[in-house]
Amino acid sequence: MTAEWAGEGLQVNGIAPGYIHTEMTQKLVDDAEFNSWILGRTPARRWGTVADLVGPAVWLSSSASDYVNGQVIFVDGGLTAVV
């Protein structure tokens, strides 16, 4: 999509969240073994929060990212860097 639409002034980017602590993931947080795996595997040593997604979303929706196109911004505490 980026290759087709960038010339028309459209930006195509994405946000790829890691493990985010929400109501929907509470059972995973409560699972001691899984929670320990996440905390031990994620360089940030914590679950992400919804607030962690706000900055990248605001940046991508602002003029500060006008020349950013075709990118996926991983918001995962560094997890993909060590996989």
DSSP-derived 3-state class of residue 53:
helix
Work out the mean pLDDT of the chain and round it to a whole number: 97
> CA 81, CA 74: separation in Å to the nearest integer?
10
Give CATH for domain 2-82: 3.40.50.720
First-to-last alpha carbon distance for the chain, in angstroms, is: 27
> CA 55, CA 70: separation in Å to the nearest integer?
18
pTM of the model: 0.88
Residue among 47, 56, 39 at smallest CA distance from 21: 47
Name the token pair of 14: 């994405």
* pLDDT tens, residue order, the chain (83 aa): 999 999 999 999 999 999 999 999 999 999 999 999 999 999 999 999 999 999 999 999 999 999 999 999 999 999 999 98
